[in-house]
């Protein structure tokens, strides 16, 4: 009697399911690996600042684990936030940054509109020139600029050096060219028919700018605003050169000139000051990022 054997194991060939998705899994693993690496790299300094800011001077100089707080204290924060000097720096920085952002936007948005849309003799060259001025480093410019303001003071008797508002003249030399450049790019990406439609609808150039271009290029405007604010807030060299009196200093310069006395570094307060100083840009980023939605022009034209 013959028995029929049935091979239940079936074909031994391995079936590959979804090789595409496995590829994707690996791509994701690698991206997470590098993202985590990058996060560690960029978040370690602020973490160290936070840890140090919670320590007393005694604990900072003690030979304990620098990554652990044994006796947490808020004394650094309390001292800084109750010191008129620190608050003065903070206000100076805030005023300078807010006014500079305003000046920058008032200049660079109309400038970019003119350069991107009103074709006039030399407009293309001018647009490139605007960007080239941005490439000149501030370390090259601060001496001639200082000289200019000094001579201006001698001639007119209007003393601008060592006044916080001198920075309102200087920072725009950094922010205006770059913001104009960003806005030229955004405005250039708006289809030509959109301003032609506006012109036929009866809009003036100014109305086309305010009622069509600015709303449509809002993401670009926000990017430019963030840039201008960050540059003004974090600028170090110019305020170091142009302001010396304690009541005229902005935050970055104020922290290092008042909290480092000779060779004594008040590390706890330096770290606290730096951390507090980093908060406003962070808040502004978080707030504006919600509005920073790309693809706002979707639907204007076909495709």
Partner 1 sequence: MADVSLRKVVKRYDEVEAVRGIDLDIADHEFVVLVGPSGCGKSTTLRMIAGLEDISDGDIMIGGDVVNDVPPKDRDIAMVFQNYALYPHMTVAENMSFGLRLKNYPKAEIKSRVTEAARMLDITDLIDRKPKQLSGGQRQRVAMGRAIVRNPKVFLFDEPLSNLDAKLRVQMRIEIKKVHQKVRTTTVYVTHDQVEAMTLADRVVVMNHGRIEQIGTPNELYHKPATRFVASFIGSPAMNFVPCRLEDVGGKLNVRLTDRLAFALPPARAARYQALSRTDRLLLGIRPEHVMEARPHAEPGVEPFDAVLDVTEPMGMETLVYFTLEGSQVCGRVSPNAGAQDGSPLRLAVDLNNMHLLNEVTGAVL
In the chain, how many H helices and how many E strands? 15, 2
Q: Compute how many residues bind partner 1; rule: CB under 8 A.
A: 25
Separation CA 300–CA 104 (nearest Å): 28
Shortest distance (Å) from residue 221 CB to partner 1:
12
Q: Which is nearer to partner 1, 137 or 303 (CB)?
A: 303
Question: Under the criterion CB under 8 A, does residue 118 sit at the interface with partner 1?
Answer: no
Contact 120, 109 (CB under 8 A): no
Q: Which of 116, 198, 224, 231 binds partner 1 (CB under 8 A)?
A: 198
Question: Under the criterion CB under 8 A, does residue 201 sit at the interface with partner 1?
Answer: yes
Shortest distance (Å) from residue 210 CB to partner 1:
11
Where does this chain touch partner 1 (CB under 8 A) — which range of 148-156, 174-182, 202-210, 273-281? 202-210
Separation CA 82–CA 253 (nearest Å): 19
What residues between 271 and 300 interact with partner 1 by CB under 8 A?
296-300
Separation CA 167–CA 38 (nearest Å): 34
Q: Which of 216, 224, 251, 274 binds partner 1 (CB under 8 A)?
A: 216
Question: Under the criterion CB under 8 A, does residue 144 sit at the interface with partner 1?
Answer: no
Where does this chain touch partner 1 (CB under 8 A) — which range of 18-26, 143-151, 199-207, 229-237? 199-207
Where does this chain touch partner 1 (CB under 8 A) — which range of 69-77, 166-174, 209-217, 281-289? 209-217
Angle in degrees, CA 184, 189, 194, rounded to 5: 110
Task: Return the axis-axis angle of helices 218-234 and 267-289, rounded to nearest 10°.
Answer: 170
Question: Under the criterion CB under 8 A, does residue 210 sit at the interface with partner 1?
Answer: no
Q: What is the DSSP string of 80-121?
A: HHH-HHHHHHHHHHHHHHHHHHHHHHHHHHHHHHHHHHS--T
Shortest distance (Å) from residue 229 CB to partner 1:
24
Angle in degrees, CA 279, 284, 286, rounded to 5: 95
Q: Is 122 left (phi over 0), alpha (psi -120 to 50) or beta?
A: left
Q: What is the enclosing helix (H) or strand (E) of 234?
A: helix 218-234
Question: Under the criterion CB under 8 A, does residue 188 sit at the interface with partner 1?
Answer: no
Question: Under the criterion CB under 8 A, does residue 123 sit at the interface with partner 1?
Answer: no
Separation CA 8–CA 200 (nearest Å): 78
DSSP 213: I
Shortest distance (Å) from residue 294 CB to partner 1:
13
Where does this chain touch partner 1 (CB under 8 A) — which range of 86-94, 104-112, 130-138, 194-202? 194-202
Question: Under the criterion CB under 8 A, does residue 215 sit at the interface with partner 1?
Answer: yes
Q: Which of 1, 58, 63, 200 binds partner 1 (CB under 8 A)?
A: 200
For binding to partner 1 (CB under 8 A), which residues are involved? 191, 193-194, 196-203, 207, 211-212, 215-216, 218, 296-303
């Amino acid at each position: 009697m013959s028995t029929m054997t049935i091979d239940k194991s079936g074909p031994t060939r391995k079936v590959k399911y979804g090789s595409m998705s496995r590829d994707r899994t690996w791509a994701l693993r690698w991206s997470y690996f590098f993202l985590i690496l990058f996060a560690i790299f960029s978040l370690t300094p602020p973490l160290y600042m936070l840890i140090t800011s919670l320590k007393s001077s005694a604990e900072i100089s003690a030979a304990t684990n620098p990554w652990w707080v044994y006796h947490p204290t808020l004394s650094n924060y309390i001292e800084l936030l109750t010191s008129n000097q620190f608050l003065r720096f903070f206000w100076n920085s805030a005023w300078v940054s807010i006014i500079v952002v305003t000046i920058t936007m008032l200049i660079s948005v109309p400038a970019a509109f003119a350069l991107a849309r009103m074709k006039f003799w030399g407009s293309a060259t001018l647009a490139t020139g605007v960007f080239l001025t941005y490439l000149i480093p501030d370390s090259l410019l601060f001496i001639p600029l200082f000289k200019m303001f000094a001579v201006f003071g001698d001639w007119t008797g209007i003393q601008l050096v060592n006044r916080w508002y001198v920075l309102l003249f200087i920072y725009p030399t950094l922010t205006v060219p770059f913001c104009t450049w960003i806005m030229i790019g955004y405005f250039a990406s708006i289809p030509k028919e959109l301003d032609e439609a506006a012109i036929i609808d009866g809009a003036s150039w100014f109305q086309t700018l305010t009622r069509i271009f600015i709303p449509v290029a809002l993401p670009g405007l926000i990017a430019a605003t963030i840039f201008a604010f960050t540059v003004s807030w974090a600028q170090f060299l110019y305020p170091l050169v142009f302001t010396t009196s304690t009541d005229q200093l902005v935050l970055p310069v104020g922290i290092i000139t008042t909290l480092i006395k000779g060779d004594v570094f008040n590390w706890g307060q330096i770290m606290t000051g730096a951390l507090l100083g980093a908060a406003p840009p962070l808040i502004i980023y978080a707030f504006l990022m919600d509005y920073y939605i790309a693809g706002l022009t979707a639907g204007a034209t076909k495709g």
